[in-house]
Structure 1
Amino acid sequence: MARTLRLLPFATADGATNMAADEALLVSAAAGIASLRFYTWTEPTLSLGYFQPAEARAATPGVPWVRRSTGGAAILHHHELTYALALPPAAEWHTGEPWVCRMHHLLRDELADAGLTAKAVLCGEEQKLGEVLCFLDQTAGDLLVEGSKVAGSAQRKWKGALLQHGSILLWRSPHAPHLAGINDFAGRELVAAPQLAARLAGRVAVAAGCAVETDDWTPLERARTAKIRAEKYADPTWNGKR
Structure 2
Amino acid sequence: MSEKWIFLNTGFRNGNFNMKFDEHLAFLFSKGRIRPVLRVYGWRPYTISIGYNQDESVFDFEKIKNAGIGFVRRPTGGRAVLHAEELTYSVVMNSYGKSVIEIYNLISRAIVRGLNLLGVELELAQTEHDFRSFYKDFKSIPCFASSAKYEVQFKGKKLVGSAQRRFGDVVLQHGSILIGEFHRKLPEFLKIDSIEIVEKIRAEIEEKTICLNEILHRNVSFDDVAEALKQGFKQEFGIEFEDKILLDEEFEIEKLDLISL
TM-score, normalising length: structure 2: 0.73
- Among 195, 216, 226, the alignment partner of 1:186 is 216
Counterpart CA distance in 2 for 1:131 and 1:60 is 22
Q: Find out whether 1:138 has 2:147 as its counterpart.
A: yes
**Secondary structure class of the residue paired with 2:72:** strand
Residue 152 in structure 1 maps to residue 161 in structure 2? yes
Measured in 1, the distance between the counterparts of 2:111 and 2:94 equals 23
Give the aligned CA root-mean-square deviation in angstroms. 3.0
Structure 2 CA distance for partners of 1:126 and 1:103, relative to 1, 3 Å: farther
CA contact (8 A) 2:19 2:75 kept: yes
Matched, 1:76 2:77: no
Distance 1:198 1:44 in 2: 22
Confirm or deny: 8 A CA contact 2:9 2:244 kept in the other structure.
yes
* Structure 1 unaligned residues grouped into runs of 5+: 227-242
Residues 153 and 159, structure 2, Cα contact 8 Å, conserved in 1: yes
Q: Deviations over 1:174-231 (max 9, x none)?
A: 6247353121232212x421132122112212322322111367xxx831779xxxxx
Q: Cα gap change, 1:150/1:200 in structure 2, threshold over 3 Å: closer, same or farther?
A: same
Q: Distance in 2 between matches of 1:214 and 1:112?
A: 22
The structure in which a higher percent of residues are helix is 2
Matched ranges for 1:156-235 at <5 A: 156-173=165-182, 175-176=185-186, 178=206, 179-189=209-219, 191-215=220-244, 222-223=253-254
Check the 8 A contact 1:17/1:225 in 2, yes or no: no
Instruction: Return the letter of the residue paired with 1:6.
Output: I
For structure 2, the residue ranges without an aligned partner over 5 or more in a row are 187-201, 247-251
Trace 1:24-35 onto structure 2 (pairs within 5 A).
24-32=24-32, 33=34, 34-35=36-37
Match of 2:115 in 1: 111
State the identity as a percent.
26
Contact 1:144 1:150 in 2 (8 A): yes
**Could you say which residue in structure 2 is the equivalent of 1:230?**
none
CA contact (8 A) 1:48 1:56 kept: no
Q: 1:105, CA displacement in angstroms?
A: 2.2
CA drift at 1:49: 0.2
Rounded to whole Å, the distance in 2 between the matches of 1:2 and 1:105 is 19
Work out the CA distance in 2 between the residues paired with 1:175 and 1:44: 11
Shift of 1:112: 3.2
Pairing 1:87–2:117 present: no
If the length of structure 1 is used for normalisation, what is the TM-score?
0.78
Instruction: Measure the CA separation in 1 of the matches of 2:88 and 2:62.
Output: 19
1:65 to 66, 71, 87: 71
Give the counterpart letter for 2:93 in structure 1: L
User: Equivalent residue for 2:42?
Assistant: 40
Aligned length: 220
Is the Cα contact below 8 Å between 1:31 and 1:88 reproduced in 2? no
